Structure 1
């Protein structure tokens, strides 16, 4: 460990001598991390310190253990105790494949389905955290390359029927949650909708929603249906959720919002949500603040990084290959716990400098366990988590309680 510290300190020294492009507060040179003995806790109204914990229930159900200084604890409490003020949760329409294809067990929970998300929301709110509910409008992952139609809607051929289906589903979901005191504080209408929604497995006759093919009017109509459902439920709730529209990577954001607002007629939303994974992006971290400032000024909306991650190691804890390997490592940020922490400190300060409203880290609790998905058992993300390979919390999470210049 002393050897790693020495290398890291030399790396920082050389970097500081050769470049003035670093941003944010620097790591404490005495122990490779900021002094967290006097942590600063931010409220969700002040700045979102968020974590996507969508996998936690499944991990707990399949042998995963979370601890702090080797003491086993409730993971939701761990995050709340260490500065997390908002939990992000994905919602799939009807993920039956979890039972039929992954576990081949009809008794298994439909993870990321309604009941599972409700369970997570209860846990998060019990710990005093806000919730960002992320509607994927799909039975499975929605991202820039995969926007599959839910099986229940795949035979729809009329745009009005599709709008009604999106409205009814969104409304009924939120109404059920509201009745149980679980109204989310934030709602994402779609996930990484770079070209649109519900288009990658679209049969002939399904209303086209691909903005990249010019169907902004249809896409805008469907998004507006989801937005209207949020507004209608909020009218009878004590909580009025802020509505987020979400695009992957800053360089895609301005073009998308120009089109969805002008051609799609979408205006009733509060937050521009961005995924920022630096090695997938054309935007270097030192330019992120300028992008955020530009979006705020041009669109008169809040801006938030709703997905991000960085590795603390390139080693594996299990046989499930990791998504982030050596190619994900950025200059000035080695794949160490200290390097991960500094990356998040600098990213968070950049978001603040640009006038942004928050940062949400994607699946920082996806540790290895006996959980399964379609591609493996364990985790393909454990090297990005805030827990070591014994499930013990490490210092990466301390970026949430660092003293920033707001």
Structure 2
């Protein structure tokens, strides 16, 4: 019996390559990948050979996969899926490739972002006290499901792009005290599963120091618990070229780390798919800015849906060509 157990342990750990922690995280959010494959989308190396998408990303220096989680999502191709079960399956696949894992809780049945933070339908009529329990038990449930298959994420995001709060209206920043309680429930649930998981609080417009100072000053005042400040950076959405505000991003990264004593991470970034050189240059600059944060407090950079080709998703900020091949922009993640 002992020999069987030892053999099982060894073969299992041989199959799952252990990711190297504490190195700079270079990664991709790939929530669309299972749906892309299910609809028959094929991924190719630049030489035309068909290849697994995660391998293509790994070959370009990526070591981290970010996965969003929705509570009770629909089966819509682009705005559904990402359930607990699908997230666990994807995390298993990523970890077997030696990837590090980040889990992004939206606390919604579909997209949550600065323009919408809709409660899951199941939670719609819950009292605030019930919402606190919802956040705790949903977070715990997903993380325990991952732990049951041998996966402990390195990072967990409590909320997705929440400059206006989450779970509106109860968790709006108009009532920051309640938002703080919700965030702390997510933090507590994460740490109950594994105290070493780093909890991220995430805002958009990473170049906007005024927005970040306002939010995190309030978070400090309300005793929000977190480990990492997460930033999105999309020059496209603020109708600029990265050269106009990359210095602002760098300054904000340094300011956030110094002002609040936290680690920082660009958890979403993207550029126009047809402007490959510009996106490459932008990524090089973003990686440089994060690495330059003093005392190794800059943890990494994650591209949002680089494989989400416009021909499939209608999204124009992927880093994938119409022929199913990765854009040269992703070479920015190579050493």
1:191 to 1:293, Cα distance in 2 relative to 1, 3 A: same
- Pick from 265, 268, 286 the counterpart of residue 307 of structure 1: 268
The answer to whether the aligner puts 1:254 opposite 2:213 as a matched pair is yes
SS in 2 for 1:365: coil
SS in 1 for 2:67: strand
CA contact (8 A) 2:24 2:299 kept: yes
User: 2:233 corresponds to which residue?
Assistant: 276
Report the count of equivalent residues: 305
CA contact (8 A) 1:273 1:304 kept: yes
Aligned counterparts of 2:277 and 2:60: Cα–Cα separation in 1 = 17
- Pick from 363, 367, 377 the counterpart of residue 309 of structure 2: 367
Query: 1:330-345 to 2 correspondence within 5 Å?
Result: 335=275, 337-345=276-284
CA contact (8 A) 2:268 2:301 kept: yes
Per-residue deviation at 1:350? 1.8
User: 2:289 corresponds to which residue?
Assistant: 350
Which structure has more RCO (C-alpha within 8 Å, separation ≥ 6)? 1
CA contact (8 A) 1:185 1:242 kept: yes
SS in 2 for 1:311: coil
SS in 2 for 1:65: coil
- Pick from 248, 259, 263 the counterpart of residue 298 of structure 1: 259
Greater fraction helix:
2
SS in 1 for 2:62: coil
Aligned counterparts of 2:257 and 2:152: Cα–Cα separation in 1 = 27
Instruction: Give the unaligned 5+ runs of structure 1.
Output: 1-41, 104-108, 203-207, 314-334, 370-377
- Greater C-alpha radius of gyration: 1
- Pick from 100, 109, 123 the counterpart of residue 139 of structure 1: 109
User: 2:27 corresponds to which residue?
Assistant: 50
The answer to whether the aligner puts 1:266 opposite 2:243 as a matched pair is no
Aligned counterparts of 2:140 and 2:229: Cα–Cα separation in 1 = 22
CA contact (8 A) 2:88 2:145 kept: no
Aligned counterparts of 2:160 and 2:183: Cα–Cα separation in 1 = 11
Aligned counterparts of 1:353 and 1:144: Cα–Cα separation in 2 = 28
What is the Cα-based RMSD across aligned positions, in Å? 1.9
Aligned counterparts of 1:197 and 1:138: Cα–Cα separation in 2 = 9
- Pick from 389, 392, 396 the counterpart of residue 325 of structure 2: 392
Runs of 4+ residues over 4 Å off in structure 1: none
